[in-house]
Homo-oligomer: A and B are copies of this chain.
Amino acid sequence: MDYSDFDLETFLPFRLNRAAEFIALRFAATYKAEYGLTRPEWRTLAALGSSGRMTATAVGTHSTMHKTKVSRAVFALEERRWLKRTQDEDDRRVEHLELTAAGQNAYRELTRLAGDYSAELTDLLGSEGLRALASGLDAVEKAMVRRRR
């Protein structure tokens, strides 16, 4: 009953999606189980941890998240005292976000786990497969920039 030559199994969006789910979920399980973090929260933490003080909008562009996700993540992290906000002097719409000492500790711990997972991935995919994947992702990212989201 094959009404055409289409096959989901070879359709790039499908494959990419499934692969991403597989790879990301394994790590998500870690930060969720160990720290009760959601993905937006982890990403926000990561963005602030590696780039330091920045605004919510900047976090959003940096980690490609919708503003509402960022807003909620910031709120959650703030509640947990891992992050503090300060209003911009000149523009009172803007708020600057920064990790607290506790936030920095969590960030360090999590990046350690992220490192472990990266190693595990190298192992899981093989250096050959990893290289291919990385260069494929380069291509996608170039295309993303060209198409400006």
Contacts and interface: CB of A to CB of B under 8 A. Distances in A.
Given A134-B136, A139-B130, A6 B64 contact: no
Contacts of A63: 8, 14
Interface residues of A, number: 67
A16 B132 contact: no
Secondary structure of the A contact surface, majority rule? helix
Contacts of A138: 129
B118 A143 contact: no
A129 B136 contact: yes
A126 B136 CA distance: 10
Interface of A: 1-4, 6-8, 11-24, 26-28, 43, 46-47, 49-53, 62-64, 104, 107-108, 111-112, 114-115, 117-118, 121, 124-126, 128-130, 132-144, 146-147, 149
